[in-house]
Amino acid sequence: MREFCTIIIIFVSLAFISCKTTNQLQDTEKIEEETVAEIEIAPPVIEIEIKEEEPETPKLTPEEEEAIRWAGILKESESMTTEQRKFYLLKKTRDYEVVGEDLDYKIMVNDDTKEVIIQFEESDSDEDWRNNYLFLPWPLKLDNKIVWTTYGYAKVYKSANNIPIDEFFKQIELHPDYKVVIWGWSIGSAMAKITARHFEIRTKKQKKIDELTTWGDVKCWYNPFYSVKKSCIVIHEYVNINDLVTWCIPICRRDVKCRVGDKFSFKKARNSEHYHLNYHECDFSKWEE
């Protein structure tokens, strides 16, 4: 009987220990599950780097961009002579008014030098080049007087309906004590010389043109007995013999001939475009004051 009791006690003890162990394991598993749940539920920590926004560079207006471009051009031209600089500034001008059959002109009032200036751009289109070679003699009425030039130049000047010359005179009337200055390049040289003739007719030779200067000058007059230089205080028609544009219309005549650049060379003439575009590289000392 004593042995049986002992066995019962041992069995109960083992059962108690087993239950306690099971409870401890269950508690441990529960804690682990809660820990895992907490880990799963907890949101991930994300580090965000906050950068200060850099202020946007303000965009320049077209006028501001042009002002900056022009300031650079003026800087580049500082070391040039007077005639070189005038051509270079004409060459770099962009804001021309365009009228008629691609006649490009610009009127400027220079208060520093006290000048009213009208300038005409070079040949810049196929239409310009076609008109350069339409060399048949043609009458052009300037106010009530007929002058003889080429068909191409007469056609271009007439197509402008006197707009450039009328605007030019408005500025001259507003600045009566300013000099009258006319510039032109390439086909613009023909437009400049016709404008000078028109000015002479309209003023009835009562007012002089202070300066008529052309570069890459083309011939445009058929009348062999008349010259506009009679109405100009200063007249320069610059030609570079290696600039073949100045050879246009050999049967016409120009009023004066101011030769610049090197002597004629077949090799250089093959690069005629370079000499037509770069008169600012020439030596003008013979004609500069």
Short-list 253, 193, 190, 194, CA closest to 224: 253
Alpha-carbon distances, residue 99 vs 103, 104, 160, 278 (angstroms): 5, 7, 5, 26
CB 256 within 8 A of CB 142: no
CB 242 within 8 A of CB 272: yes
CB 122 within 8 A of CB 183: no
Q: To the nearest 10°, the Cα dihedral for 251, 257, 258, 261?
A: 30
| Residue numbers of the chain with a pLDDT score lower than 50 | 2, 4-7, 11-12, 14-23, 25-26, 31, 36-37, 39
Short-list 79, 83, 80, 78, CA closest to 287: 83
Alpha-carbon distances, residue 94 vs 3, 69, 120, 245 (angstroms): 124, 11, 11, 22
CB 24 within 8 A of CB 32: no
Instruction: Tell me how far apart the alpha carbons of residues 236 and 258 are, in angstroms, rounded to a whole number.
Output: 6
Instruction: Tell me how far apart the alpha carbons of residues 279 and 8 are, in angstroms, rounded to a whole number.
Output: 128
pTM, two decimals, is 0.79
